[in-house]
Amino acid sequence: MKVHDALRFAGYTIALGAFTEIIYTIYKKIAKKSNAKKDMTEVIFFPDSKVACVDYFTKVNGCVTRECRFSHKENSLSKLFMKLSRSIKSMDVCVFVMTCTDLTDLLIQAHRRGVCVRVITDCEQVDATGSQVWRLRSEGIAVRTDGSSFFMHHKFVVIDEKTLINGSFNWTRQAITGNQENLLISDNPMLVKEYHKQFEHLWTLYDPRST
Ligand SMILES: [Zn+2]
């Protein structure tokens, strides 16, 4: 009788173990699936202690400069560089001040490889010292401005209608290595949709043909 009970107990234990294993396997599969569906969201902060090397982070051959004075270590700017340089279809840029040549270069390179680049900025910043708007326009990139004494104060980019980059960050050297700034990078479809909708709204509003 005792042997029989012991065998039965062992049987139950094995069955329970097997059952637990199956449940755990199913749980892992479901968890993996739901993680894969989760939106990618990241926050980056400035200032960076050093300016990232745009060539190192965006060029196929990397940086070929001897004793490069820029940083080859990943930082906030390098993450922004990589997001912009990997655009495939479109970049809708809505930024108050644009004086950073490296970031402007990435828009020009994207435009040259067939990405639809549209830029909205503040009309009073167009002729400010170091403004890159003339470079964008000379490359054939469409730039629209608010034409108002109020500020077009946004600082956001929508890439490929899939990724939003938004925060306090103007495209200036001071914002990179001086100011306290933040940028949220998100693939959340609801956020991307709302910002893209607002970009389209402003793009139409600031159409020079409609004024
Ligand atoms: Zn370098």
Domain identity same for 72 and 113: yes
- Please count the structural domains in the chain: 2
Burial 153-172 (b: 16+ CB within 10 A, else e): ebbbbbbeeebbbbbebbbb
Average pLDDT over residues 9-31: 75
133 is written with which tokens?
């708007």
Domain identity same for 82 and 30: no
48 classed as catalytic: no
Domain identity same for 135 and 171: yes
pLDDT for 23: 74
Domain identity same for 7 and 45: no
Domain that holds residue 3: 1-38
Domain identity same for 45 and 23: no
Domain identity same for 178 and 83: yes
pLDDT, tens digit, 9 for 90 and up, residues 71-102: 999 999 999 999 999 999 999 999 999 999 99
Domain identity same for 177 and 80: yes
40 is written with which tokens?
């990618």
Distance 138 CA to ligand 1 centre (A): 27
pTM above 0.85, yes or no: no
Domain identity same for 131 and 149: yes
197 classed as catalytic: no
Distance 164 CA to ligand 1 centre (A): 27
Distance 136 CA to ligand 1 centre (A): 24
Say which of 153, 193, 197, 201 is annotated catalytic.
153
Distance 73 CA to ligand 1 centre (A): 10
Distance 68 CA to ligand 1 centre (A): 5
pLDDT for 20: 77
Domain identity same for 100 and 199: yes
Task: Decide: helix, strand or coil at residue 71.
Answer: strand
pLDDT for 32: 67
39 classed as catalytic: no
| Residues facing 181 on adjacent strands | 46
